[in-house]
Chains A and B, each alone.
Chain A
Amino acid sequence: MAIDKNKSWIDARLNTTALTKVMMTEYWIPKNINFLWSFGVVLATLFTLLIVSGMFLLMYYKPDTTLAFDSVNRTIMQEVAYGWLWRHMHAVAASVVFLVIYIHMFVAIYYGSYKGGREMIWISGMLLFVTFSAEGFSGYMLPWGQMSYWAAQVITNLFGGIPFIGADLVIWIRGNFVVADATLTRFFALHVFILPMIIMGIVGLHMYSLRVPHVNNQDAEEIDFEAEAAKFQAGDKKGSKVMPFWPTFLAEDFFVLSGFMIFFFFLVFFHYNFAMDPINFMPADSMKTPPHIYPEWYFLWSYEVLRGFFFSANLGLVAFGIANVIFFVLPWLDRDPVVKPAHKRPLFRVWFWALIVVMIGLTVYGKLPPTGINAWIGFVFSVAFLALLLVVLPVISKIESKRS
């Protein structure tokens, strides 16, 4: 094949001009959006920070039950120059990445961006939520403190609830009768290589899935992207309803990102303790359970659904299983085919804020000891959560679809 001599050396071989157009300058984004559309770029940045800080931690971390605790708490924290910085960045980013994921998710729910042709964006996003959860859990095990150990014990035990194969499956996952060295090394492999590779693949899918139905906007207006892009390119930049991904959309994103990064490094330097449980500064002891075990804040809502059915462990497990997959089918639980933001759907708007309240309630009670009245409040929140998604949403969305 002949090389085009009119192009630059690199462009002739890699077609960079066309690539830049497809990826950046002619990737069209609606103008009618607000700062809530910037959290995808914030997530991409946080994931990058996790990889960079993780690589430096990996240079000193030792995945061995006899060495892991000291390699983190002595070597990295006390001896490695700026080891504390990488650890605190990694811990804080791992925590706030879930805050941003939840914001990103609930923006999509509020504006109806999960349905009407955008189902694959939603499903790939939920796959990212699940893989990030696995990444968070496997990483939490690595410092091999008391919380690391007992979280691993409780979470791997959950698989024991699966009928027939449960008990053998738990031993297979652990590689031992209890959480032990084999468990640590395999979760280390998952955390530093396998899961990040899977996450990167799904991130690619997630971004690609945006291309076909395009990005939603504040009013869920159906935009003719080709016509609006042609208008923009013809010079009517003001009249066009779209703008290029680069430089216009990203310029706005970078503004939000800058504000977020100030908040992030404020936490890293001054308030990192929220991401570091004091109990995890005690080395793992398989013979002694800490008096009160709870997961990190971002798992508390589903943990409370598990505990909420305090009178039946099996019912709790079933409810927990449902809670973990229910959001995947959100596009089909919402039976109104028209995409509209919540403030234009009176019943859905109430449902949306009720869901937020219930999930915050589950999070609060997930942290409290499950005794006395707490157990009953947790039960009520758990039932309310399942009812909101499985019963209330299909009913109100059907009513609203008939009204319009």
Chain B
Amino acid sequence: MAVDESKRDFILTALGTFAGIGGAAAAYSMVKTWDPLPSVIAAGVTTVDVSSMQGGELRTVEFRGKPVYILKKTPDMAPSKNKSTVKVGSDEFVVVIAICTHLGCIPAFASETKQFKCACHGGEFDVNGANTFGPPPKPLVIPPFKVDGTKIMLGEEGEEYKKLAPELKA
């Protein structure tokens, strides 16, 4: 006697569908659980008043858990070829995330050669943050910034930031 399989097929398809939806929902919630928390994303804007800085002075500030170098340039330093520096009034600043674009170590500033040198794998950047030697594939990244009077606000995207070449941005 022939058995009607259509009910069984329907039950199996329904079970499979519900289990699939449940599995996808479970996987989605697990993946989202690892997302950065809202408090982390909303971590404040870092505002730096650069009016007191001397020529050649290097300041390290923390921005969203990352170190950012702010260097006030002096006339004897090489000019930037790709307009990567930040103008605050008549002064020129190098503002870069101090994380090597190779594997995330912090390059140190060598004041005698005016270079950023990474100790991990020997990468070198010039005074403007352009990669000049070793494994780093691109220049030091410029964080989102906005110039407000004598202040640089890190974390907000100002007009000057938007004009930067895409490979310089975070």
Q: Chain A interface (Cβ within 8 Å of chain B)? A: 150, 153-154, 157-158, 171-178, 180, 182, 186, 286-293, 307, 310-314, 316, 369-371, 375
Contacts and interface: CB of A to CB of B under 8 A. Distances in A.
19 contacts: A150-B105, A154-B105, A157-B104, A171-B36, A174-B36, A175-B36, A176-B36, A177-B36, A177-B40, A177-B64, A177-B66, A178-B65, A182-B36, A186-B34, A311-B135, A313-B137, A369-B122, A370-B122, A375-B122
A180 B41 CA distance: 13
Most chain A CB atoms below 10 A, which of B64, B102, B136: B102
Contacts of A313: 102-103, 135-137
A286 B103 contact: no
Contact of B34 (A172, A287, A288, A310): A172
Main secondary structure of the interface of A (DSSP, over half): loop
B134 A314 contact: no
Given A177-B40, A287-B60, 18 more contacts: A154-B103, A158-B103, A172-B36, A175-B34, A177-B36, A177-B64, A177-B66, A180-B40, A182-B40, A286-B65, A286-B66, A287-B62, A289-B105, A293-B119, A312-B135, A314-B137, A369-B122, A370-B122
A287 B36 CA distance: 21
A310 B119 contact: no
Interface string B54-70: 00000010101111000
A369 B118 CA distance: 12
Interface residues of B, number: 25
B159 interface: no
B65 A289 contact: no
B46 to A, nearest CB: 12
Interface string B27-40: 00001001111001
Contacts of B37: 175, 182
Contacts of A154: 103-105, 120
B71 to A, nearest CB: 16
Given A176-B40, A182-B36, A310-B134, A287 B67 contact: yes
A177 B103 CA distance: 14
Contacts, number: 79
A310 B121 contact: yes
Nearest to A369: B122
Given A172-B35, A289-B105, A289-B120, A316 B135 contact: yes
Contacts of B36: 171-172, 174-177, 182
B135 A310 contact: yes
Interface string B65-84: 11100000000000000000
Interface in B1-53: 31, 34-37, 40
Most chain A CB atoms below 10 A, which of B65, B102, B106, B120: B120
Interface in B119-158: 119-122, 134-137
A287 B99 CA distance: 10
B29 to A, nearest CB: 14
A157 B103 contact: yes
Nearest to B137: A313
A290 B108 CA distance: 11
Nearest to A294: B120
B119 A292 contact: yes
Contact of B104 (A153, A175, A307, A314): A153
A291 B119 contact: yes
A46 B64 CA distance: 41
A155 to B, nearest CB: 9
Nearest to B107: A289
A157 B141 CA distance: 15
B119 A307 contact: no
Nearest to A310: B135
A304 to B, nearest CB: 11
A175 B40 contact: yes
A375 B35 CA distance: 38
A307 B66 contact: no
A153 B106 CA distance: 11
Contacts of A172: 31, 34-36
B63 to A, nearest CB: 9
B106 A287 contact: yes
